[in-house]
């Protein structure tokens, strides 16, 4: 008897979808003067299956100055840990 998830009746769990959020900062007043800033965040209308595809689109828009920045939101995603350096090591 096979022990695949489909044979046991349990369906495989779908991958978490990544949401791409574009951030634009609208400044009131002149450059360098004291003024108010507004964060105009917009969510991309489609969710991405992989973070790499969402990151490529975000980089494309940011490099062409179509947005001021972007962030990726994936439920349950934890970034890989940063390496720990000893005090005697130089990290570059």
Measured in whole angstroms, the distance separating CA 15 from the mean position of its chain's CA atoms is: 15
Contact 44, 60 (CB under 8 A): no
| Residue 1 or 3, more confident | 3
This prediction's pTM: 0.64
Q: pLDDT tens digit string along 49-76?
A: 999 999 999 999 999 989 889 999 999 8
Q: Specify burial of residue 63 (Cβ count, 10 A radius: 0-12, 13-18, 19+).
A: exposed
């Amino acid at each position: 008897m096979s022990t695949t998830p489909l044979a046991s009746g349990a369906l495989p769990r779908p991958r978490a979808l990544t949401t791409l959020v574009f951030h634009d900062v609208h400044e009131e007043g002149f450059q360098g003067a004291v003024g108010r800033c507004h964060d105009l965040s917009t969510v991309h209308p489609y969710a991405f299956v992989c973070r790499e595809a969402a990151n490529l689109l975000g980089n494309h828009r940011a490099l062409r100055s179509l947005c001021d920045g972007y962030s990726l939101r994936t439920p349950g995603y934890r970034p890989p840990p940063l390496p720990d350096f000893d005090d005697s090591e130089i990290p570059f």
